[in-house]
Structure 1
Amino acid sequence: MEYRIQHLNFAYQEEPVLVDLNLTLPAGELYLFSGPSGSGKSTLLRIMAGLLPRYGGTLTGEVSGVEPGTASLMFQDPSLQFALDTPHHEVEFALENLALPANQIPAKVEQALKFCQADHLADRRLVTLSGGEQQLVALAITVAMDSQLILLDEPFASLDHDHRTQLLARLVELKNQGKTVIIADHDLQGYRQYQPTVIAFEKGRCRLLQGEEATERFDQAEQLAKPLPAYLQTEGTTPLFSLADLKLITNGATLLTIDQLGLFKDRVTLLTGESGSGKTTLFRALTKLRPYLGSVTYQGQEIKQAKAAPYARQVGLVFQRASDQYLNVTVKEELELSQQQGQNPYFTPERVQAALKKLGLTGMDERVVYSLSGGQQKKLQLLLMLMMGQPVLLLDEPFAGLDSKSIEVVWELIDASRQVWPQTLIIISHQLAGLANHIDYRLHLADHHLTYQGEVHHES
């Protein structure tokens, strides 16, 4: 059995997204779709799953071998797939829709959640889960459906390294059982040992990588994944944020405890930790979006007493889901709003256009923001928030779903902007590739505590 894609062309509007694609994919193998943001990877997955052109766009050509009901797709943004309140109910609902006998469902639900290391989340409300935890649940739903063709769009983007490694091994188990597994992923780290068939996408076209070309891609991924150095915490500097006796409580349990901690001005601080450990919850507390016990001061003022609107002009949050940031419909409308309300003098109209070109977003003014690929949405979101120019910017997984070249371009934009308009950046990221030369401090969250990594430097 094989899946055949013949002379496939697809467009959402006038501009083609896929151009004359021709692929033959033997069943029962592991395939890796690699390529820049917006190159067509997600679109092809949605076509193979039967979602396109049924729900939009124009298609010519043919996809054969995918029988109705034999494919399941995990979206890049897992929350788009959820309809109910808890992981248990979501998996159960998926199996009911497949008309599985009722007496078989409980065991299938338990097996799928355990297989994806999400059994401890079974009865949590989905809206309280971190992005990484939601990815575990979405993967469990996909596994429970027991489809012959498993399509996964950036399934590890918000997961820490250990979860990523363990789940990739589980997916290879499914391949070894005869399933066909196709993964779209920007990060090729960890795949080499499983010898996937690598298909490279570029500007709507694709080609099979063989021999040295595939080896070179894996080599590049491993070089980018070099360990981060031990960063130095600075003593003797007055913190911008001071956290004291801080407790964050979720579902009756203490998620995070901080006795005393400072976050420093005009520095880039990286915040790491296991998926679901409380990093996003801390960001929401720092931006007055959730309550906390203890004290958080910004420039000496307790933020509980700060008025919401003026404080939001000082401290901005880049949401983990880019689509949560948008207020308008089209790219043009979003850019106009940020230019009207933004306070960053670096972003003149000319520099905005130059940034759009470097980010690969030129000519998309009339595109609906939600029709952009996940990577394109993320790059637009970052540009918009840099234009807003809050002195402090908290960035929650800003590089998830971005290829290495896009990450490099984003950092060039951040560095150029900060030369003109200094900002304090605090970044949550499981994607560590390309960060080593940009980080001043690193904080790690483990066992409910935050600690600076590296030795302490005493300033004179």
Structure 2
Amino acid sequence: MNLVSVKSLSVAVGFKNFPVLKDISFTLEKGEALLVVGPTGAGKSTLLLTLSGVIPELVHGKVEGEVRVAGHNPTEEGLKGLAGDVGIVFQDPEAQVVMETVFDEVAFPLENLRYSKDEITRRVEDALLKAGLAEYSSEETDPLSTGLKQRLALASALSYEPKVLLLDEPTSHIDPASSKRIYEVLKSYKERGGALIMVEHRLEYVEGIIDKILFIDAGKGVLCRNFEELVAKVGLEGLTEAGIWLPTPLLGRFFTNAPTVPADRLIPGANTVVKTVNLSVRANGKRILNSISLEVREGEIVAIIGPNGSGKTTLLKTLAGFTRRYTGEVSVLGGPPDYSKVAYTTQVPELQFTERTVAEEVASSLLVRGFSKQEALKVARRELEARGLAHLSDRLLYEISQGEKRLISLLETELLDRKLYLLDEPTFGLDFKNTLSVLSWVRRLASKGKTVLFVTHDSWVLPLLPLTAVVGLSEGTVVFRGTLQELLVRKNVWDRLAFLPPAELAEESSVSGAARAIENYRKKVVGVYEFSKKAQPHS
């Protein structure tokens, strides 16, 4: 008997008449895993919300077709009917964490399911250990980094061992090493008979887990057994146009004669844009940053990496002027840090939104620059159209997908037209095509003399940028500063940084060898995705 059965599913969200999903069908048995892929805004999250009963119980929508999940009809039974049998981890962990402490957050669903006190304690401790959160058990949830909250949401869902687990980009904010460990936990869950339905852009993590792939584009689904069958059914051109990131070993088999890709070389200017000397930050009795000393010049692109909770976001917030309580020296563009000097993109897009519709939100950046409201809206609509986002102009911000929210947050940041850009995980939640667009935009900013500091857990994007430096944080301290080539050779710091590069770059032992490996990696990826031609919507 199928644990999950979906037949001819169509879903319209809100009060719209047109369906987001059209005629989707698939089945899953115990111990099977389905990977859902598709371009940004294709309806992947809508599928998971429908299977969990969130649509139509909490989010208004019209659901047609037959859906059975762990013996339940989610459309009729809703969240209460599925409780205990179906777990879900939302794309935005901030929307899922509700309790004051980490322990209480994981215990919350167990208490609702009436587990005994001793059993609750055992299950909470086990779930926190699996999620790498055992040391945070008594911590408050609010100060946790977004990545730690994402791991917490997963621990909470795993604690009661649901029959079906729905995961919407469960590692989008999580460092590479922790992501790998989490998928080992999920593989074990699957081997015990659990069924997984997951949306994930970082496909190298799921290759050994998935049994089926559902490709969704324009609301319609194509079901396949593996990536090779997906390429055969949809075509390589169709997948790349949709922004689907295929594992790089597979790319090599499909594209062996990629053109030579000229290496980007940035020459930073003479002026110092950011300088910190012994910068330290404490919060809630804990030291978040410890004696950070950095100097960044105009025109540089600097990547900031490190494990969840290492202080990366706090560093950006301090440079942006949002963290006022610090010790040491901080100079931004020749003076104290202030948000009016910089263009800052938050890790969670919703945290920077202030308006109702997409066009109004984009226009808000132009109002800051002195545009009239009428002119700001006119320019905002023009910029949205230039980037292929005109269809979102009049949509309410809460209606659009997480990936679309990320694109809007980056666009409004770009339109501030500042000398310093501070970007917190700019590529999270994006398909590969849009990721390349963002990377192309970052390169053009630097070519115009702008300075870019960005936080990322997407280690595979690092070789695709002309980075001037990589800064690695661990427990609030800089443990690495150098080039990407040097980082690939310095394997002794990888564990402290929770860093895992793409497999093709992981075995190099010399800086020159690492440089060649990066060039080959870029050639393979850029050749297939036509980086220089397709990644232009931010121009």
State TM-score, norm by structure 2: 0.76
- CA RMSD, 1 decimal: 2.9
Structure 1 residues 392-401 or 247-256, which shifts more?
Answer: 247-256
**Structure 1, residues 318-353: CA drift from partner, whole Å, max 9, x if none?**
100001110011112212322332489xx9988855
Aligned partner of 2:17 among 7, 14, 23: 14
**Of Structure 1 and Structure 2, which has the larger fraction of its residues in strand?**
1
Aligned partner of 1:220 among 233, 246, 252: 246
Q: CA deviation at 1:399?
A: 0.7
**Aligned-partner Cα distance in 1 for 2:381–2:185:** 44
Q: CA deviation at 1:34?
A: 1.3
| Counterpart in the other structure of 2:481 | 452
Aligned partner of 1:79 among 65, 75, 94: 94
Q: CA deviation at 1:81?
A: 1.1
**Aligned-partner Cα distance in 1 for 2:52–2:474:** 39
Aligned in 2, Cα 1:316/1:236: closer, same or farther, shift over 3 Å? closer
Aligned partner of 2:116 among 76, 97, 101: 101
**Structure 1, residues 247-299: CA drift from partner, whole Å, max 9, x if none?**
12244333332363202212211111111111011111112222111110123
Contact 2:280 2:288 in 1 (8 A): yes
Give the counterpart letter for 1:430 in structure 2: H
Aligned in 2, Cα 1:178/1:112: closer, same or farther, shift over 3 Å? same
Matched, 1:269 2:302: yes
| Counterpart in the other structure of 1:298 | 332
**SS of equivalent to 1:436:** helix
**Aligned-partner Cα distance in 2 for 1:266–1:155:** 34
Structure 1 residues 71-80 or 285-294, which shifts more?
Answer: 285-294
Contact 2:365 2:415 in 1 (8 A): yes
Matched, 1:63 2:67: yes
**Aligned-partner Cα distance in 2 for 1:318–1:219:** 24
Aligned in 2, Cα 1:362/1:23: closer, same or farther, shift over 3 Å? farther
**Aligned-partner Cα distance in 2 for 1:254–1:408:** 36
Q: CA deviation at 1:435?
A: 3.8
Contact 1:343 1:389 in 2 (8 A): no
Q: CA deviation at 1:374?
A: 0.8
**Aligned-partner Cα distance in 1 for 2:468–2:90:** 34
**SS of equivalent to 1:206:** strand
Structure 1 residues 333-342 or 316-325, which shifts more?
Answer: 333-342
Give the counterpart letter for 1:432 in structure 2: S
Structure 1 residues 366-375 or 56-65, which shifts more?
Answer: 56-65
Contact 1:95 1:145 in 2 (8 A): yes
Matched, 1:331 2:352: no
**Structure 1, residues 209-230: CA drift from partner, whole Å, max 9, x if none?**
235235888993336999xxx9
Q: Which has the higher contact order (CA 8 A, sep 6+)?
A: 1
| Counterpart in the other structure of 1:288 | 321
**Aligned-partner Cα distance in 2 for 1:428–1:280:** 7
**Of Structure 1 and Structure 2, which has the larger fraction of its residues in helix?**
2
Contact 1:343 1:388 in 2 (8 A): no
Give the counterpart letter for 2:7 in structure 1: Q
Q: CA deviation at 1:123?
A: 1.6
Give the counterpart letter for 1:392 in structure 2: L
Q: Give 5+ residue unaligned stretches, structure 2.
A: 73-81, 253-262, 487-539
| Counterpart in the other structure of 1:307 | none
Contact 2:35 2:214 in 1 (8 A): yes
Matched, 1:176 2:179: no
**SS of equivalent to 1:52:** helix
**Structure 1, residues 389-445: CA drift from partner, whole Å, max 9, x if none?**
2221110011111111111122344455666x6421110000133442323322111
Q: CA deviation at 1:46?
A: 0.7
Matched, 1:402 2:406: no
Residues 415-430 of structure 1 mapped to structure 2, 5 A cutoff: 415=443, 422-430=449-457
| Counterpart in the other structure of 2:408 | 380
Aligned in 2, Cα 1:232/1:97: closer, same or farther, shift over 3 Å? farther
Contact 1:232 1:441 in 2 (8 A): no
Aligned in 2, Cα 1:223/1:264: closer, same or farther, shift over 3 Å? farther
**Aligned-partner Cα distance in 2 for 1:32–1:201:** 11
Structure 1 residues 151-160 or 2-11, which shifts more?
Answer: 2-11
**SS of equivalent to 1:240:** strand
| Counterpart in the other structure of 1:320 | 347
> Kindly, what percent of the aligned residue pairs are identical?
27
Give the counterpart letter for 2:198 in structure 1: I
Contact 1:9 1:16 in 2 (8 A): yes
**Aligned-partner Cα distance in 2 for 1:447–1:35:** 36
**SS of equivalent to 1:128:** coil
**Structure 1, residues 339-382: CA drift from partner, whole Å, max 9, x if none?**
332489xx998885565356553222222101211111111111
Q: CA deviation at 1:137?
A: 0.4
Contact 2:273 2:420 in 1 (8 A): no
Contact 2:203 2:245 in 1 (8 A): no
